[in-house]
Amino acid sequence: MTKYRQLLLVAAIFASFESATAQEGAIDPDRAANTVILDETGVKNLRIQTEMVEERDFETTAFAVGRIEEKPENRAVVSSRISGRVVELSAYIGDEVKKGDVIAKVESRQPGSPPPVIDLVAPMSGVVVESHVRLGEPVEPAEAILDIADRSTMWAVAKIPESEAAKVEPGSKARMRIPALGDELTEIKMAKFGVAADRNAGTVDGVFIVENAEGRLKPGMRAEFGIITASREFVMSVPRKAVQGDPTKRVVFVEDFDLPNAYVKVPVVLGEQNDQYFEVVEGLFPGDEVVTRGSYGLSFAGSGSGMSLKEALDAAHGHEHNEDGSEMTPEQKAAEEAEHAHDGEAGGPAGTLDIVIRIWAGIATILVLVLLQGLLRKRNQKTSAA
């Protein structure tokens, strides 16, 4: 019975040794399962871009939508002082004019040969936004001929939810994005509140002054606002576009520190969010490179998107690895070479598992013999002493 227990102990030691040896140096299974390895083509197709995780000033923002509008005081009307007809029109909708430019001529109805003609000049510099007459059309002093607007500065009117209005005041800073112009952000400052609230929408107008020297902003364009209401220092955060998954299981893709073109899906716990960033409570460390552009595409990238984990490690380290990412031992390498040789001789594949079992069987046999020899020596010593 004692020898039987000793043999069981040897088998248990052998099994533990085998398990520990097999896992030595292996990559964490969770990390391996969540690693997406791309080839160069995949990286280019997804247009992968990364950003370093760091602690930054984190600003609490109130989100609002709104529209671009002309400043009411920056609009003028051109009209005639006399009754007559338009005999010359030199400015049309969309044309830029300067203050004092002659933009139309009106022939008077008063008799004469020829009848008197007066010049109509631009009262301000700007762009012609409306035209109310055509060449040869009769006009009266009460009628508008052209509308001119100076759009060098515009209003950006935010519809601020009433629940957030108490946190905002004239002078509050904001970041504005115009979807029609792309992802460009413009920093602006609130000038004043509107004169009334919208009872149906439950919002209050916040008026911001925006420079528009290039004329890219047009009245009616949709605008999105992140109005800053508070700020905290040294908050670890990541760009919003780096975060994927549903609200119960948020993940980001982190660039592998060792393998090229490899990205590890990492679960994260998030805190507050603003118009640009998510606060990261758990899951990341400062210095991690998270994928921003291409993150959504990585969520759908399968194992066939590039080389395997073994191939990537082999290429990165210059020597062979096992499928689990562990470094291949001399014994394993010899077994693999023997397998290849056997495949060539027999004309059929020989399982790697079979070779490994044979090697460990030999090691187990040696261990058992050593143990039995020790047991026999102890028994002989007891017999001699008796």
The string of DSSP codes covering 14-35 is: HHHHHHHHHHTTPPPHHHHHTE
Evaluate whether 37 touches 307 at the Cβ level (below 8 Å): yes
- Please state the pTM of the whole predicted model: 0.66
pLDDT in tens, the chain (386 residues): 444 444 444 444 444 444 444 444 555 666 777 888 898 898 999 999 999 999 999 999 999 999 999 999 999 999 999 999 999 999 999 999 999 999 999 999 988 888 899 999 999 999 999 999 999 999 999 999 999 999 999 999 999 999 999 999 999 999 999 999 998 999 999 999 999 999 999 999 999 999 999 999 999 999 999 999 999 999 999 999 999 999 899 999 999 988 889 999 999 999 999 999 999 999 999 999 999 999 999 988 865 555 556 565 655 555 566 655 566 666 666 666 666 555 555 444 555 666 767 787 778 788 877 777 777 777 776 666 65
Q: How far apart are CA 145 and CA 125, in angstroms?
A: 16
Nearest-CA neighbor of 283 among 328, 237, 317? 237
Q: How far apart are CA 171 and CA 346, in angstroms?
A: 84
Q: How far apart are CA 249 and CA 41, in angstroms?
A: 29
Which CATH number fits the domain 34-56+234-310, given the four candidates 1.10.10.10, 2.40.40.20, 2.40.420.20, 3.40.50.2000?
2.40.420.20
Q: Which fold has domain 77-149?
A: OB fold (Dihydrolipoamide Acetyltransferase, E2P) (2.40.50)
Backbone angles phi, psi at 163, to 5 degrees: -70, -20
Evaluate whether 157 touches 65 at the Cβ level (below 8 Å): no
Evaluate whether 129 touches 147 at the Cβ level (below 8 Å): yes
What does the pLDDT read at residue 288?
Answer: 96
Q: Which fold has domain 61-70+152-233?
A: Elongation Factor Tu (Ef-tu); domain 3 (2.40.30)
CA distances, 320 to each of 191, 215, 272, 323, 356 (Å): 66, 61, 45, 10, 17
Q: How far apart are CA 249 and CA 269, in angstroms?
A: 8
What does the pLDDT read at residue 355?
Answer: 72
Nearest-CA neighbor of 334 among 349, 348, 320? 320
Count of all residues that appear for the chain in the document:
386
Q: Which residues contact 230 (CB under 8 A, 6 or more apart)?
A: 59, 60, 167
Task: Tell me the domain boundaries of the chain.
Answer: 2-25+327-371, 34-56+234-310, 61-70+152-233, 77-149
